[in-house]
Amino acid sequence: MCGIFGMLGRQASLQTTRRALAVQQHRGPDDTGWVEIAEGPLCLGHNRLAIIDVSALGHQPMASADGRNWIVFNGEIYNYRELRRELGDYSFRSSSDTEVILAAYARWGVACLERFIGMFSFALWDGERQELLLARDRLGIKPLNYGYVDGTLVFASEIKAILTAGHAVTPDAETWSDYLAYGIYEQHDRTFFRGIRQLPAGCYMYCRPDGTSSINAFWDLKQIVETAGAAPLESDELEALMVDAVRYRLRSDVPLGVNISGGLDSLLLASMVDQLAAPGQKLHAATAGFSDSRYDERGYAREVISGTRWLPLETAEGPDMLRSTARVALSHQEAPIGGIATLAYHNLHEKIRAAGLTVQLEGQGLDEMFAGYAYYRGLTDGSQSLQGWLSEGLYQDGTSPLARDVLSQSLRDAGQAWHWRVPALDDAVNQALFVDITQRKLPRVLRMNDRLSMAHSIELRVPFLDHRLVEAAFRIPGLAKIAGGMSKRPLRDIAQRRHPSMTSIWSEKRAVVAPQTGWLRGAGAGFVEDCLESPWLLDSGLFDVDRLRDRFRVFVQNGANNSFFVWQWVNVALWCELFVGGAWRDHAVRTQAHGMV
């Protein structure tokens, strides 16, 4: 996993490219490279985190064997060995998956994207067509942002690199309205910066030197779900798919570990890693905990990894984390963050890196594929309609997290009633799961996890989001995923077969909770008050400030069943301070000073 940057157009400059690469050097501290291609004019830059073929032969930007095409690549193509055998007539010079992309494009053109199992974003200059291809993986695990500066296309893994190239910072009013009024973090192609877009997941974009471009999809889960038919997915087949996905993601030439909580998903992942890892190989298991035992999962996590090969790696966070971590974490995120659990996870990856690990696996995605959250159950018993579920913006525990009454009228006017893309199915649960996977929940989790792991030069792999497994999951009816009063029923059946004695983990659903509400009402209330009185929030025009202050006083005095709306206010204050005010540059300088550059 790495960082990529490029400019296509008259303003393309190696000097700007080098400055932009310095800003996102944390994504790839092992090597830095750039190239200028006169035909564009085009500049390509790369920050390398060496994982597959760590030798100098994996240096990027990388040219094709005939010298016509160039690539910068972020991510992993897990089935690169199988593809390499299929492309045996290509003159390979390295053993990297990057060169496999070049070979695959030479053989199959843009159709090569359909053959990749992996997470990726890359830019590939096609010297014959004189076009630049930008591509992003099916679920958007890897980021790819772009904008225009004086008519020149600028693209990068992180938005800060685009700002370094001269793009103006202006909040995107519609995106902020959708976030504050509906709880929507991630848009199809917009970002929180006006004029800076993200390439949609599962899409590719051809860009030309004359400024024209075209975007097309190479993967459409909605169409796949609607036309999949009713072929049942047997439990053994589901388990085999999961094991195969984990097997691919254990491919690495550097040390790796596993992120573990005390839940079912972690139990399954740890079990499969244990099954597939080399005999005698020591494995690190990382867990983010809290000093308050009521919210601490470290004890449950230790149950999951019982065995001599597992080495626990743990953190225990307290309320002081709010002031010490929030600004630097949001500077890396470039968009609102989810709350204190995200901050704790950010700090955990700092400890992981200090332990000498470069690759981590985690069990993300199974809740969204197999109905792991409480709010799905109302769709099965008639207490909740799909339309009502979508319009209320419920949190994963079924509570309402929004405070629309404190928003300014101008912000309400900027937004529009949110329209979800829903597949035509006679299955409300699977319709809801599709929305969470593609729009409402998973995209923000993937963005946050990419930024917080890469902030510490860690590649975070998500085996259960293998596109083959995602597609197969929709062959299981929603009612079969919530059966016998239990969520994720197919996964619990697998866990019962693999670990019949660990009933405390596979037979129960414990909500993943953090002490956020208590902290924001108590030890962290002063931090929130400072944010609410920040000139960046007061002058943002996003709130009725008097109502906001009153609402916070009521929250501190009486509490609430969800504190998401308070964290939204914190996000606004810090984002405006960092990006509108320019403080992100100071954070970038400090990151470089600590040895990332």
Backbone angles phi, psi at 360, to 5 degrees: -125, 145
| pLDDT attached to residue 289 | 93
Single out the residue of 265, 275, 247, 278 nearest to residue 117, CA to CA.
247
| Whole-number percent of the chain with pLDDT over 70 | 94
Average the pLDDT over 491-512 and give the result: 75
Q: How confident is the model at residue 596 (pLDDT cuts 50, 70, 90)?
A: very low
CB-based burial label for 489 (10 Å; 0-12, 13-18, 19+):
middle
Confidence of residue 415 (pLDDT cuts 50, 70, 90): low
What's the rounded mean pLDDT across residues 342-369?
96
Within its chain, how far is the Cα of 395 from the centroid?
Answer: 18
The pTM of the full predicted model, rounded to 2 decimals, is 0.94
More confident residue, 560 or 179: 179
99 belongs to a structural domain: yes
pLDDT tens column, 466-475: 999 999 999 9
- 2 included as an active-site residue: yes
The predicted structure's pLDDT at residue 420: 87
What pLDDT score does 597 carry? 32
> Could you tell me if 150 and 238 lie in one domain?
no
CB of 332 closer than 8 Å to CB of 456: no
Give Cα separations from 138 to 5, 87, 219, 334 (angstroms): 20, 23, 6, 22
- 338 and 468 assigned to the same domain: yes
426 falls within a domain:
no
Single out the residue of 45, 10, 35 nearest to residue 158, CA to CA: 45
Name which of 2-6, 61-65, 218-222, 502-506 the model is least confident about: 502-506
Do 318 and 202 lie in one domain? The reply is no
Mean pLDDT of 308-328: 93
Mean residue pLDDT of the chain comes to 91
Residues 210 and 263 in one domain: no
Share above pLDDT 90 across residues of the chain, in percent, rounded to a whole number: 74
- Return the CATH number at 501: 3.40.50.620
CA neighbor of 23 nearest in space, from 41, 45, 54:
45
Q: Quick one: pLDDT at residue 169?
A: 96
Any idea how long the chain is?
A: 597
User: One-letter amino acid identity for 235?
Assistant: S
Region 340-351: what's the mean pLDDT?
A: 96
Q: What CATH number does residue 61 fall under?
A: 3.60.20.10
What is the C-alpha to C-alpha distance for residues 167 and 165, in angstroms, rounded to an integer?
Answer: 6
> At which of 219, 250, 274 does a domain end?
219
Q: What's CA 266's distance to the chain center, in Å?
A: 18
Q: Is the dihedral of CA 11, 17, 19, 20 positive or negative?
A: positive
543 within a domain of the structure (yes/no): no
Q: Tell me whether residue 403 is in a domain.
A: no
Who has greater pLDDT, 386 or 393?
386
Residue 335: the pLDDT is 97
Q: Does some domain include residue 530?
A: no
pLDDT band, very low/low/confident/very high, at 417 (cuts 50, 70, 90): low
Would you say residue 26 lies in a domain?
yes
CA of 297: how far to CAs of 303, 398, 404, 511, in Å? 10, 21, 33, 11
One domain for residues 206 and 235: no
Annotated binding site for L-glutamine: 97
Give the lowest-confidence range in 203-212, 415-424, 508-517, 532-541.
508-517
User: What is the model's pLDDT at position 459?
Assistant: 97
In a domain, 131, yes or no: yes
Residue 137 has pLDDT above 80, yes or no: yes
Q: Which residue has tokens 């037979």?
A: 507
Which residue range(s) make up the domain with 280?
231-369+437-506
Given a cut of 80, is residue 439 above it in pLDDT? yes
pLDDT band at 392 (very low <50, low <70, confident <90, very high): low
Number of CB atoms found within 10 A of residue 278's CB: 7
State the pLDDT at residue 144.
Answer: 98
pLDDT of residue 595: 46
| Average pLDDT value for residue range 321-347 | 96
pLDDT tens digits, 17-72: 999 999 999 999 999 999 999 888 999 999 999 998 889 999 999 999 999 999 99
41: helix, strand or coil = coil
Tell whether the model's pLDDT for residue 506 goes beyond 60: no
- Give the pLDDT score at 375: 85
State mean pLDDT over 379-394: 75
Tell me 566's DSSP state.
Answer: H
Q: Which amino acid is at 493?
A: D
Asked whether the beta carbons of 92 and 17 are under 8 A apart, the reply is: no
How many separate domains does the chain show?
Answer: 2
Query: What is 55-111 written as a DSSP string?
Result: SGGG-SSEE-TTSS-EEEEEEEETTHHHHHHHTTTS---S--HHHHHHHHHHHHGGG
pLDDT in tens, 234-276: 999 999 999 999 999 999 988 899 999 878 999 999 999 999 9
Strand ordering across the sheet containing 203-207: 62-63, 70-77, 118-126, 131-136, 203-207, 213-217
- Which one of 506, 533, 553 terminates a domain? 506
Whether 570 is in a domain gets the answer no
Residue 405: how many other CB atoms lie within 10 Å = 11
